[in-house]
Structures are given as C-alpha cells and as structure tokens.
Amino acid sequence: MELNDIVKGTFFLVIVIVGIPGNLTIMGSLSWIALTTFKLLPVEIIIWHLAVANAILAFTRGLPAALFILFRFKVNSDAGCIILLYLARISRGLAICFTCVLSCVQCITIIPSTSKWVYLKVLVSRHVSSVALSVWPLYMMMEIAPIFVARAVRNFTNSEFTFNSGYCLSTFPTALMYHLNGFGLFSRDLIVVAVMTLASVYILFILFKHRKQVNNMRTCTSSQNIAAEIRAAKTVVSLVTMYVLFFGVENTIWLYQIAGSTVVHSIVTDVRHFFSVCYTLFFPVAITTSNKKIQNILKCFYEHDNGKKRHACMLH
C-alpha cells in the first residue's frame, strides 16, 4: 500500500471514529433531555436532526471510503451500491439543509422583542418539528439519482460520465443527464448556502448591535438565559462558517468535475468526498464544547458510571 493511500485512508478513518460516536452522543443527549424535561428548544430539535444526518453521512460515505482505501473493500451488488449511495446523497443533502434551517431558526430566536417580526418566534416554536420532519421525505424524493446510476464495480475503466468511489460507481448514460444532475445539485446547494450565510450575517449584526445592551443585562435575573442565547448564536455562526468553508472546497471540485471534464478521476472524487464528510467531525465537537445541557448530561452519566451517588441524570 502506498503512503498516499495510508494517509488518505487514515483521514477518513479518523472522521468515522470521531464523527459517528460524536453525532450519536448528541442524539442520545438531546433524546434524554426530551425524555426528562419533555421539552426541546427549536434550535435543539434541529440539532438533533442534523446529528442524525451527519451520523448517516459518516457511516455511508466516510466508512466505505476508509475501508476501500485501507482494505480494498468493495460492495459486490448493484442493490448494495444503490442503498449506500442513496443514503449518502440523502444525508449529505439533509446536512446542508438542516444547517440552513438551524441558522434561520437561530436568526428568528434572537429577534429583539421590539421588532415587528417577533411573532415569528411563536410560529417557529409551534412548527419547527413539522418543518424538520417534512425535510426528510423532501430530500428522499430529490435524491433519487443513485437508484438509476449506482452500480457495483466490475472491470472498471475510466469511462465518461462516471463517478468512481472505489467501492461503488455512479454511471450516467448520457451527457445530458450527467450535466443536469451536476448543475442541478450545485444550484440547489448554492441557494441553500446563500440563505444560511444571510441568516448568519443577520445574527452577527444583532449581536453587534445589542452588545452593550446584553452586557448591561448580565446583572439581571435573566442573565443566564441571555448568555445561553448569545452562546448558541455564536455556535450557529461558527457551524455555518465551517460548512461554507467545506462547501466551497467540495463544490469547487464538483463544479470542475461536471464542467471541466467528462472523465472523472477517482482521486478528485476522493478529495471531494473527504471535504463533504469533514462537517460530520467538526459538528459534534462544536456542539459538545458549547452546549451546557449536553455537557451536564455527559458529566452526569460519567459520574454515575464511576459509582457516585446519582440516581438519575435530570436537568433542572
């Protein structure tokens, strides 16, 4: 095995080792909060869905890539490739969509009480779960391309209009389908990223505008809630910044693949896939280090496992 493959496979493996348990931890912690307090904040509901999408993406794109690069693992059936690539495409689309929804929800959450748009807070609180659930079937319908183009690897040569992941292939029968799929996905993602960027800019504007007001309110009884809102807003902006960074690299490569050449080199696909799964690694790290509720849950279970007197991990 060449050094290049070892390094590349190790990077994917690190993302899998950290990304899957990290996102599952966030899912479990927020589920426990919901069970013990019977309530999740709108932002926390979106974070839960985003953690699910990230865990699926790390499992269906990061893990197969690591196994192929390090151990030459391949999926032997067309059905297996269809399921794997379909889930990867859905989870990747959901990850970017939920990041956008998260930034929009957080944007609405910090709207000043004097604003004429303050009524949106009530609407978000009532309907955020319905919106989040509706996104899943929407992307399941939008990401149907793998059902028609995913195939197992059999005596592959560098043919036109084919994305080679190593463990599976995505072969488009015509140039028209190849370009429609490519530019369609690129345009959709560009719109979603533009929306989340605008929402993040507004969040930064609100934080800057009301910085002095927030500092004065820290002495009030509501100071803890205000500090939590500010911390959550900063975390969301950080997540969007990371996603825009990874999106920029991934989709620059994607644009090159669909516009620059009809023969897609596997090394280019590997690099693009690597940046598409990087978010699954940084997301749980950012959430865990910034969310006090999740930190308290993890601390509580850690103390319980180490024999300290704690009958149940409850949030007060």
Cα 312 to Cα 301: distance, rounded to the nearest angstrom: 9
CB atoms within 10 A of CB 16: 22
pLDDT confidence of residue 292: 85
Per residue in 130-161, pLDDT (tens digit) is 999 999 999 999 999 999 999 998 776 667 78
Q: Does residue 40 register a pLDDT over 80?
A: yes
Own/partner long-range contacts of 243-251 (Cβ < 8 Å, ≥24 apart): 243/96, 243/99, 243/193, 243/196, 243/279, 244/193, 244/196, 244/197, 246/275, 246/276, 246/278, 246/279, 247/96, 247/189, 247/193, 249/275, 250/275, 250/276, 251/186, 251/189, 251/190
Per residue in 115-124, pLDDT (tens digit) is 788 888 889 9
At the fourth CATH level, the homologous superfamily of domain 3-305 is Rhodopsin 7-helix transmembrane proteins (1.20.1070.10)
Q: Does residue 109 register a pLDDT over 60?
A: yes
Share of the chain above pLDDT 90, in %: 45
Cα 191 to Cα 69: distance, rounded to the nearest angstrom: 33
State the pLDDT confidence band at 213, using cuts at 50, 70 and 90: low
Q: Residues 95-105: what's their mean pLDDT?
A: 93
Closest CA to 151 of 57, 77, 91: 77
Q: Residues 19-31: what's their mean pLDDT?
A: 95
State the pLDDT confidence band at 63, using cuts at 50, 70 and 90: very high
pLDDT confidence of residue 225: 59
State the pLDDT confidence band at 316, using cuts at 50, 70 and 90: very low
pLDDT confidence of residue 140: 95
Q: Residues 171-187: what's their mean pLDDT?
A: 90
| Alpha-carbon distance values, 274 to 84, 165, 314 (Å) | 16, 11, 38
Domain ranges across the chain: 3-305
Structure-model confidence comparison of residues 128 and 305, the more confident one: 128
pLDDT confidence of residue 226: 62
Q: Does residue 127 register a pLDDT over 80?
A: yes
pLDDT confidence of residue 156: 62
Q: Does residue 82 register a pLDDT over 70?
A: yes
Structure-model confidence comparison of residues 178 and 312, the more confident one: 178
pLDDT confidence of residue 307: 60
Average pLDDT, the chain: 85
Backbone angles phi, psi at 171, to 5 degrees: -110, 120
pLDDT confidence of residue 219: 47
Q: Does residue 222 register a pLDDT over 70?
A: no
Per residue in 289-304, pLDDT (tens digit) is 888 888 888 888 777 6
Task: Report CA torsion sign: 156, 162, 163, 167.
Answer: negative
Task: Specify the pTM.
Answer: 0.89
Structure-model confidence comparison of residues 230 and 195, the more confident one: 195
Q: Are strands 162-164 and 150-151 parallel, antiparallel or unpaired?
A: unpaired
Tokens of 307: 């024999």
pLDDT confidence of residue 114: 77
